[in-house]
Amino acid sequence: MKKFHLGILLSILSFVGLTSCNENVDDTSKVVLNEVLTVNESNFQDDYGLQNAWIEVFNKSFGTVDIAGYQLRVSSKEGDTVTYRIPKGDVLTKIKPRQHALFWADGEPNRGTFHTTCTLDTIRTNWIGLYDNGGKLIDQIEVPALEADHSYARVDDAANEWVVKGGDKANSYVTPSTNNMTIEKNAKQEKFAEADASGVGMAITAMLVVFSGLIVLYISFRLLGLGMQSKKAEAPKQEAKTESTPAPKGDSKEGEIYAAIAMALHEELGNVHDIESGILTLYPRDSQWNAKHLLLRK
């Protein structure tokens, strides 16, 4: 009886220790914890070819978020909270819209930006908290003890419901660095495959679509060509009509002709032209190529 009461007391203390880490979570945060795997025996490998526990973070917004300076805190029992601050200066800390970032909880931060100082307990419940660069809690989760190669994940990316994934469960694959919701079958594709197993209907449909498009293009260009021809035919008619129309009286061109004639008569009668004599004076000039006297014998 005493052992039973002692077990209850320890359970209560463990629960209080884990929940003591909980704070008010910022529901407006763009980044959330998305999936956690604590025991990695035959699952995803890191960049060193090693299999370790990992924590997946998801950017649920439609803009890039830089998580440099953010903190990951892990606690499996009271008083053992370990904090890992994501270093700055790595371009990979910028998570693109609706994308994931995977952190290895191997306790080896010297291996790179995405290797944390935190490790996950394989037996106890793990509390994981995500803090922004201002030290504000933006997301947290209590991960229960899991079997090997099983993960604790949201049903879909950024969804509120969490489930255990892995094993032989249908549509329950562990999905590091990818969407949590995996779709094995497409009902529309399966229905179409049943109706057209040989693919003849698909081929006929494709040919009809192609030929229909070609016919539409032919008709469009044909109508466009006819329209251009009609415009060209109308243009000469308009020009001929303008040429045959007699010039109205008092036209400006007739006045210009009269002005030119009057100016010519004025210049002729006014003797404004230069008076030149008919005498030309030539000045000889010696040169080596045209001096004839230089070629005569003395």
Whether 78 and 209 map to the same domain: the answer is no
Whether 222 and 124 map to the same domain: the answer is no
Whether 170 and 208 map to the same domain: the answer is no
Identify the CATH number of the domain in which residue 123 sits: 2.60.40.1260
- Answer yes or no: is 239 within a domain: no
- Answer yes or no: is 118 within a domain: yes
Whether 36 and 92 map to the same domain: the answer is yes
Whether 24 and 133 map to the same domain: the answer is yes
Whether 179 and 192 map to the same domain: the answer is no
Whether 48 and 141 map to the same domain: the answer is yes
Whether 178 and 195 map to the same domain: the answer is no
User: How many domains does the chain fold into?
Assistant: 2
Q: Which of these three, 233, 264, 292, is where a domain ends?
A: 233
- Answer yes or no: is 8 within a domain: no
The residue range of the domain holding 212 is 185-233
pLDDT tens-place values along the chain, 298 residues long: 455 454 444 444 444 444 444 557 767 889 999 999 999 999 899 999 999 999 999 999 999 999 999 999 999 887 789 999 999 999 999 999 999 999 999 999 999 999 999 999 999 999 999 999 999 999 999 999 999 999 999 999 999 999 999 876 655 789 999 998 876 666 677 777 777 888 888 889 899 999 999 999 999 998 998 888 888 777 776 666 665 555 555 556 788 888 888 888 887 777 655 566 667 766 666 556 666 666 666 5
- Answer yes or no: is 274 within a domain: no
- Answer yes or no: is 263 within a domain: no
- Answer yes or no: is 114 within a domain: yes
SS (H, E, C) the chain: CHHHHHHHHHHHHHHHHHHCCCCCCCCCCCEEEEEEECCCCCCCCCCCCCCCCEEEEEECCCCCEECCCCEEEEECCCCCCEEEECCCCCHHHEECCCCEEEEECECCHHHCCCECCCECCCCCCEEEEEECCCCCEEEEEEECCCCCCCEEEECCCCCCCEEEECCCCCCCCCCCCCCCCCCCCCHHHHHHHHHCCCCHHHHHHHHHHHHHHHHHHHHHHHHHHHHHHHHHHHHHHHHHHHHHCCCCCCCHHHHHHHHHHHHHHHHHHCCCCCCCCCCCCCCCCCCCCCCHHHHCCC
212-247 burial, b if ≥16 CB within 10 A, otherwise e? eeeeeeeeeeeeeeeeeeeeeeeeeeeeeeeeeeee
